[in-house]
Amino acid sequence: MPNVRDIFITEVALRDGSHAIAHQYTVEQVLKVAKALNDAGVPYIEVTHGDGLAGSSLQYGLSRTNEMELIEAAVSVADQAKIAVLTLPGIGTIKELKEAAKLGAKMARVATHVTEADVAPQHIHAAKELGMETVGFLMMSHMAEAGKLVEQAKLMESYGADTVYVVDSAGALLPEQVRERIRALKLHVGINIGFHGHNNLSLAMANSLVAIEEGATRIDGSVRCLGAGAGNTQTEVMVAVLDRMGIKTGVDVYKMMDLAEEIVAPILKTPQEITRDGLVLGYAGVYSSFALHAKRAAAKFGIDSRDILIELGKRKVVGGQEDMIVDVAAELAKSKSQVNVR
């Protein structure tokens, strides 16, 4: 196991958690959460729209508050933690990245589909030139075998990334699949390795621990499990478990418990749990942020959201193809109607 200084947690509730509340964060909420996380000793706090910089749109969901205001708010109360931003080439541009850096963001996480790292060099280079710690974020990692993952990670490394992540966007990876992927990266990549889990199959914690066992030193968590689908690895639980294992993170367990209960819980309309929609995301291997879109499409067309998600999985639809959700729903509704007519 790593020594006490080896595990660095990035808190994603103010980014991935944006999906869970339909991107409705206010400045006041971000100030409270970011300050509490900072005071608890969390080293990195990610703040953007759920789909990264410039994600606010009809396709991905409109933000209640301009994300730059949220980033600025988080920076203003983080005297220890570094504020991180996520950017997806094709959605976020260098312009937004520069604006975030000017406001005080210190880490850029550049996210691509697991087989498309070659779209990331411009964003990674720009982040490095801005003096930001830079992370390559390989989303939907369950869709690539270990060898392909290594190939893509090495591209991220060649562009200048300081860290590369195995990102289980669908919450579909099983522990041994995580072990295989992290082990392969550890053998072939010379930069830090991270893991970002989702809890759609109730495996986020187990998968995070396996990643640590295999040498990952950067682990994502979300307080109160706040994230897309069934949420992410629950930060306050992970900190407590790692402490019990003798793996220190520098994060105060009591303070994490308190902020989860007193500050974050009231933000949630309903507790984050594994519902049938979340479960089917992991089962089908579909991007976790699709759940809310599928539910809305199901209501519009009078069909089961699970059928939409299963079909999306069969078609290997990935993040950035949210418009396909309505198309698939319409097709399924038409097919159902034709069957009923017969």
Binding site residue list for Mn(2+): 16, 196, 198
For residues 280 and 284, what is the distance between their CA atoms, to the nearest angstrom?
Answer: 6
User: Is residue 125 annotated as part of the catalytic site, yes or no?
Assistant: no
Instruction: Please provide residue 338's backbone torsions phi and psi, each rounded to the nearest 5 degrees.
Output: -65, -40
Beta carbons within 8 Å of 2's beta carbon, 6+ residues apart? 212, 215, 217, 247
Rounded Cα distance, 38 and 186, in Å: 30
Annotated binding site for substrate: 15-16, 169, 196, 287
One DSSP character per residue, 8-52 reads EEEE-TTTTHHHHTTT---HHHHHHHHHHHHHHT-SEEE-S-TT-
Euclidean distance between CA atoms 81 and 34, whole angstroms? 9
Q: What residue numbers does the annotated binding site cover? A: 15-16, 169, 196, 198, 287
Closest CA to 21 of 238, 318, 272: 272
Rounded Cα gap, residues 208 and 216, in angstroms: 9
Helix, strand counts (H, E) of the chain = 14, 8
- Which residue of the set 19, 23, 113, 142 is catalytic? 19
Active-site residues, by number, are: 19
